[in-house]
Amino acid sequence: MIIDFHNHYYPPEYLDAVKAGRSSIRIDFDADGNPRLHYPGDYNILVRGHRDLDYREKVLADHGVDVQVATFTTPGVHMEKPALAVELARAVNDAYARERARRPAFSFLATLPLNDPAASVDELERAMAAGLPGAMVFSNVNGVALADARYEALWQKADALGAVIYVHPAHPLGVEAMEQYWLMPLVGFLMDTTLAAAHLVFAGVPRRYPRITWVLGHMGGAIPYLAERLDRGYEAFEDCRRHIDRPPSAYLKQFYYDTVNFDPSSVELAMSFAGVDHILAGSDYPHQIGSIPKMLLTLRRLDVPEADRRKMMGENAARILKL
């Protein structure tokens, strides 16, 4: 079984709201009629695969992918006023639950109105009751860290429900320095994921809530590469020991890492760091920078036992999602 853990889908309910002018997100259309959603430092071109699950099912069949675990993505509903964020999150999750029930080729993770922490607790519970196994959260919420105290109740609920929590980057602070050369998605995304994961660990969130299954997008940003430095911080600075009783790498090795880094040597580093049981195939389809063929080729080029390749291709994802 091949399970693509990292890919994105915008349901029509969300796009209809944006087109109707109800959203703060600016929309226009490219020469082919594809919607473009604009937000600080970036924009997303919503090609057919972003919007049409019938079409996507054919793409998956062509590539031999059995299941995609689809999520919402940037700009996210948290950029709206809280009341609209709650409304749009509910609409997205209702669409996800509907499609999950009728399309075996798809699983979905919920989106949350993260600029309303209390509503996010309620929405996570509602979405999981409807059959979604957890939620995708952004690496910061309008500049607020996921480790901020206002999200403590969300992590308490996620822990109680045994949720999968998938950390996906959002536009980072200082985005104005990244507006040339696509530096925001190429560099800023990865650094924001790294920062979010390190902050969560040093703040003790994974220690307090061990039943959450944490997944990091884009191979954790720089986490596998920088983990040793975080451990040195734990040894050197009292602040870095205040909320945890083990080096940061001990917690980060319990996280899962998707393979949206199509360099086999980078995958090998992540495998060496977290173990083959914590690597999940991911394509970032259908973004311009994503690729199902590159996802598959990268994993097939690894010099590993076939049993390990099967784990990364799909068995690990099936286990944590209970597919």
- Each domain of the chain, given as residue ranges in start order, spans 3-321
Within 10 angstroms of residue 237's Cβ, the number of other Cβ atoms is 11
Contact at 8 Å (CB) between 169 and 218?
A: yes
Q: Please, how many CA atoms are within 13 Å of residue 143, restricted to the half-sphere of its CB?
A: 4
**Single pTM value for the model:** 0.96
State the helix-helix crossing angle for 152-161 and 117-129, rounded to 10 degrees. Answer: 10
For residue 293, report the phi and psi dihedrals to the nearest 5 degrees: -60, -40
Give the residue from 74, 233, 248, 250 showing the smallest Cα distance to 147.
248
pLDDT, position 179: 84
Size (the chain), residues: 323
| 110 bridge partner residues | 135
pLDDT, position 42: 77
> 3-321 has which CATH code?
3.20.20.140
pLDDT, position 285: 98
CA-angle at 22, arms to 123 and 13, nearest 5°: 55
pLDDT, position 173: 84
pLDDT tens track for 86-127: 999 999 999 999 999 999 999 999 999 999 999 999 999 999
Give, for 215, the enclosing helix (H) or strand (E). strand 213-216
Strand 213-216 and strand 256-258: the pairing is parallel
pLDDT, position 234: 98
SS3 per-residue string spanning 216-265? ECHHHCCHHHHHHHHHHHHHHCHHHHCCCCCCHHHHHCCCEEECCCCCHH
Give the residue from 3, 15, 175, 170 showing the smallest Cα distance to 79.
170
pLDDT, position 98: 97
Structure tokens at 94: 């209702």
CA distance 209 to 158: 8
> Would you give per-residue pLDDT tens digits along the chain (323 residues)?
999 999 999 999 999 999 999 899 999 999 999 999 998 767 899 999 999 999 999 999 999 999 999 999 999 999 999 999 999 999 999 999 999 999 999 999 999 999 999 999 999 999 999 999 999 999 999 999 999 999 999 999 999 999 999 999 998 888 888 888 989 889 999 999 999 999 999 999 999 999 999 999 999 999 999 999 999 999 999 999 999 999 999 999 999 999 999 999 999 999 999 999 999 999 999 999 999 999 999 999 999 999 999 999 999 999 999 99
